[in-house]
């Protein structure tokens, strides 16, 4: 298929949800398939083609030695490399192991952990190879994925803000759940992209898009300390799906080991 | 040459990373293996010490295809630990959201992942060149399932509205009107699809499975029931671990679940259908009969037809639940933590999904045990492969490989799910 951009979708340590978000572009899927050569997407097709690829979307974190080697091969074969989702951009929920002694952590689930192909840490793609852009979220917003694909076709840089979820609440007209209902909401320190879903459903944001650019996490913690949140809870609130993202990691470590 | 090896290093069109290996020596089957090489993520360890109300959101991340099932099994386990039971209105809302997951997950598998096997294509995109109408109809059904989850849950993948005790917020009846209209279309489209899939040519294979599924006194099982089988099993969730065990298989990457004192068993659409045919709607029963299904299904290749019937049922059931919807008095039941053990299960699209948690008086998780459907089906998958290879030795390697891959996809295996509880030994050849 000469002339068509070659797209590849890869899976590392993950739940498949971000790849699924691509398949959830039901209205666009057949047109995307017409605009690109889908050269490698094992979840969707038995047919795979060798690189090089114009765009590689990578779901999942690096959690095994095999994956650490594989991401280097993927980088070599890809003109543009875009990690998609919290696993690929921050190590994912499985990065909770990074804060613990791996031996006992693994033995609790596996009787013979020495036989596992598992690294002691789960780390983001960018800790291993240079990346060109990234899509945040657990899971990603499929509209953002469409933006990356459209940008590639048009030969431009994808658009994506670096503001907080708070801005999305204002745009949506949602009353602040932190002010009006005293719910702990990570919106002020969390990267936009979901459309401020949780506050619209009456719950505080739980930070699944990871830290916004230069978040004031210390101020956030101080606010909730004054309102009675204890240290283990403050630690854990920053330790979920983006626990290994630098700003959240550092703030969590201020409140416990 | 007397030695024949048929291998697939990385199975396509399944959720996660798995492989298959068949070895025949002089016509004798030496090995029929379905392996998992997905990276372990240690969910049961990382849940320890977390608050019990985090379990639904954390365990949802085990699987992006069936997060509602994880949230349902986890919330119900925690509710059992806390000693609360939701009223009919809240349970109806939970079941309604679950219908959305059955629709999207089954439609993904039927139209995008499995149908290409029966019509001879590498993927749905190639299939769409010749069967555009059917693929577009399937995509639209899938989209409506996702819309239902997103309406009630905020988004289709890892929805944010479910919580222990119910929901963060409940919809107003008028919010449901647009999706009701679309579900009515989806029900008719699903009926068309059952007819289309009923026309596929299916390979012959009948096996005498132990079919294990939930069964509910009134409804087709989705969100609740007792666990039953065609061999007399009839238990509550707190008895699961007394009847099932995991067995280490030295040559495999994964432990297989078995009935204690029994053997392999099968969970998922075929088991649900066979154990609950009488709980299907009249339209569902009629469509099943027209598509060639009996009251019991023992040919695993018919599972694609059963899935299509279950899509139809889930659309009808969602319509019924919307029509009888009354907003709950409060979106959730509140409860104080106590030291206890909680058990919960539900029928994920791929079969019964069991959760057990021990929680302390502070409301923190002491231990967790999660048994997903694909882990339970591994032994049956391998037994199917064995039977199929022995019957089809005359085929060339390529045809045999394709047949075996198709047989694995009968189970819609979700390897991402299976791995998080499996005790793995990874072997790469």
Q: What is the DSSP string of chain A?
A: -TTSEEEEEEE-BS-SHHHHHHHT-TTTHHHHHHHEEEEEETTTBS----S-EEEEEEESBB-SHHHHHHHHHHHHHEEEEEEESHHHHH--GGGGGGGS-HHHHHHTT-S-GGGS---S--B-GGGTS--S--B-SSS--HHHHHHHHHHHHHTSPPP----BHHHHHHHHTPPPHHHHH-----GGGBBS-S-SHHHHTTS----TT-B-SS--HHHHHHHHHHTT--HHHHHHHTSSTTTTSHHHHHHHHTT--
The domain spans of chain B are 43-376+400-407
Do B169 and A201 make contact, defined as CB atoms within 8 angstroms? yes
The pLDDT value given to residue B251: 46
Measured between alpha carbons, how far is B7 from A33 in angstroms, rounded to an integer?
A: 29
Do B64 and A240 make contact, defined as CB atoms within 8 angstroms? no
A40-44, A61-65, B19-23, B42-46 — most confident range: A61-65
Residue A244: pLDDT over 60: yes
Q: Residue B58: list chain A partners with CB under 8 A.
A: 93, 240
Q: What percent of chain A has pLDDT over 70?
A: 98
Is B427 within 8 Å of B36 (Cβ atoms)?
no
Question: B43-376+400-407, what's its fold?
Answer: Cytochrome-c3 Hydrogenase; chain B (1.10.645)
Give the Cα-Cα-Cα angle B129, B135, B138 (nearest 5 degrees): 175
Query: Which is nearest to B268 in space by CA: B395, B114, B137, B54?
Result: B114
Query: Which is nearest to B13 in space by CA: B416, B406, B426?
Result: B406
The answer to whether B51 faces chain A, any CB pair under 8 Å, is yes
Domains and CATH numbers, chain A: 5-154 (3.40.50.700), 165-253 (no CATH)
3-state secondary structure of B213: strand
The pLDDT value given to residue A107: 77
| Global confidence as pTM | 0.96
Measured between alpha carbons, how far is B272 from B176 in angstroms, rounded to an integer?
A: 28
The pLDDT value given to residue A2: 59
Which residues of chain B are modeled with pLDDT < 50? 251-253, 421-429
> H or E segment at B367?
strand B365-371
Q: Is the complex ipTM more than 0.90?
A: yes
The alpha-carbon gap from A198 to the nearest alpha carbon of chain B, in Å, equals 6
Residue A186: pLDDT over 50: yes
Between A26, A47, A203, which is nearest B123 by CB? A47
Residue A78: pLDDT over 80: yes
Give residue-wise pLDDT tens across range A101-151: 888 888 777 776 776 778 999 999 999 999 999 999 999 999 999 999 999
Which of B16, B64, B145 to mutate to test binding with chain A, by most A CBs within 10 Å of its CB?
B64
DSSP B200: S
Do B42 and A106 make contact, defined as CB atoms within 8 angstroms? yes
Is B271 within 8 Å of B211 (Cβ atoms)?
yes
Query: Which is nearest to B185 in space by CA: B256, B258, B103, B264?
Result: B103
The pLDDT value given to residue B422: 42
Classify residue B49 by burial, with Cβ atoms within 10 Å: 0-12, 13-18, 19+.
Answer: middle
3-state secondary structure of B356: strand
Between B39, B125, B158, which is nearest A63 by CB? B39
Residue A239: pLDDT over 70: yes
The pLDDT value given to residue B247: 66
Do A241 and B61 make contact, defined as CB atoms within 8 angstroms? yes
The answer to whether B139 faces chain A, any CB pair under 8 Å, is yes
Do B64 and A17 make contact, defined as CB atoms within 8 angstroms? yes
| Residues 288-347, chain B, touching A (beta carbon < 8 A) | 331
Average pLDDT, chain A: 94
CB neighbours (10 Å) of residue B120? 10
The answer to whether B138 faces chain A, any CB pair under 8 Å, is no
The pLDDT value given to residue B293: 97
The answer to whether B16 faces chain A, any CB pair under 8 Å, is yes
Classify residue B26 by burial, with Cβ atoms within 10 Å: 0-12, 13-18, 19+.
Answer: exposed
């Amino acid at each position: 298929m000469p002339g068509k951009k070659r797209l590849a979708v890869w899976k590392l340590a993950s739940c498949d949800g971000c790849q699924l978000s691509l398949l959830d572009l039901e209205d666009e899927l057949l047109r995307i398939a017409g605009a690109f050569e889908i050269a490698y997407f094992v979840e969707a097709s038995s047919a795979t083609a060798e690189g090089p690829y114009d765009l590689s979307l990578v779901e999942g974190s690096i959690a095994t030695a095999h994956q650490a080697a594989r991401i280097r091969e993927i980088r070599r074969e890809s003109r543009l490399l875009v990690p998609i989702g919290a696993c690929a951009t921050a190590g994912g929920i499985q990065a909770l192991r990074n804060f613990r002694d791996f031996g006992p952590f693994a033995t609790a689930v596996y009787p013979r952990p020495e036989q596992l192909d598992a690294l002691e840490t789960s780390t983001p793609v960018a800790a291993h190879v240079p990346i060109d852009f990234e899509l945040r979220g657990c899971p990603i917003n499929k509209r953002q994925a469409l933006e990356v694909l459209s940008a590639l076709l048009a030969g431009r840089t994808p658009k994506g803000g670096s503001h907080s979820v708070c801005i999305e609440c204002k745009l949506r007209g949602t009353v602040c759940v932190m002010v009006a209902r005293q719910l702990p909401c990570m919106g002020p320190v969390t990267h936009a992209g979901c459309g401020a879903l949780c506050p619209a459903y009456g719950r505080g944001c739980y930070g699944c898009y990871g830290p916004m650019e230069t978040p004031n996490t210390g101020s956030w913690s101080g606010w909730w300390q004054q309102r009675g949140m204890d240290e283990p809870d403050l630690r854990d609130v920053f330790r979920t799906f983006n626990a290994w993202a630098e700003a959240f990691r550092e703030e969590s470590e201020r409140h416990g080991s | 040459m007397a030695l024949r090896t048929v291998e697939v290093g990385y199975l396509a069109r399944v959720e996660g990373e798995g492989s298959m290996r068949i070895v025949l020596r002089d016509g004798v089957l030496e090995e029929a293996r379905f392996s998992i090489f997905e990276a372990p993520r240690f969910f049961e360890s990382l849940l320890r010490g977390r608050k019990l109300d985090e379990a639904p959101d954390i365990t949802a991340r085990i699987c992006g295809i069936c997060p509602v099932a994880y949230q349902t099994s986890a919330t119900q386990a925690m509710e059992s630990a806390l000693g609360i039971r939701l009223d009919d209105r809240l349970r109806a809302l939970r079941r309604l959201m679950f219908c959305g997951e059955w629709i999207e997950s089954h439609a993904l598998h039927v139209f995008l992942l499995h149908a290409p096997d029966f019509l001879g294509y590498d993927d749905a995109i190639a299939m769409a060149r010749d069967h555009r109408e059917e693929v577009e109809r399937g995509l639209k059904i899938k989209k409506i399932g996702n819309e239902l989850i997103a309406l009630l849950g905020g988004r289709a993948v890892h929805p944010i509205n479910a919580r222990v005790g119910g929901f963060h917020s409940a919809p107003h009846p008028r919010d449901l009107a647009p999706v009701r209209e679309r579900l009515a279309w989806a029900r008719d489209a699903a009926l068309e699809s059952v007819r289309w899939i009923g026309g596929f040519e299916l390979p012959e294979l009948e096996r005498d499975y132990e079919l294990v599924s939930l069964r509910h006194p009134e409804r087709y099982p989705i969100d609740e029931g007792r666990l039953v089988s065609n061999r007399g099993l009839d238990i509550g969730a707190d008895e699961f671990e007394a009847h099932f065990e995991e067995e280490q298989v030295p040559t495999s990457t994964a432990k297989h679940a078995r009935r204690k004192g029994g053997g392999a068993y099968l969970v998922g659409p075929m088991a649900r259908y066979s154990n609950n045919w009488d709980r299907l709607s009249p339209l569902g029963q009629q469509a099943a009969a027209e598509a060639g299904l009996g009251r019991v299904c023992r040919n695993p290749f018919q599972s694609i037809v059963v899935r299509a019937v279950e899509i139809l049922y889930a659309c009808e059931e969602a319509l019924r639940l919307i029509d009888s919807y009354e907003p709950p008095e409060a979106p959730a039941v509140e409860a104080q933590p106590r030291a206890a053990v909680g058990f919960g299960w539900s029928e994920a699209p791929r079969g019964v999904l069991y959760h057990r948690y021990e929680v302390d008086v502070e409301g923190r998780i002491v231990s967790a045990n999660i048994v997903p459907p694909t882990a339970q089906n591994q032994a049956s998958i391998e037994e199917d492969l064995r039977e199929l290879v022995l019957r089809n030795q005359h085929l060339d390697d390529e045809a045999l490989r394709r047949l075996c891959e198709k047989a694995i996809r009968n189970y819609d295996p979700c390897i991402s799910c299976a791995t998080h509880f499996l005790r793995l030994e990874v072997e790469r050849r």
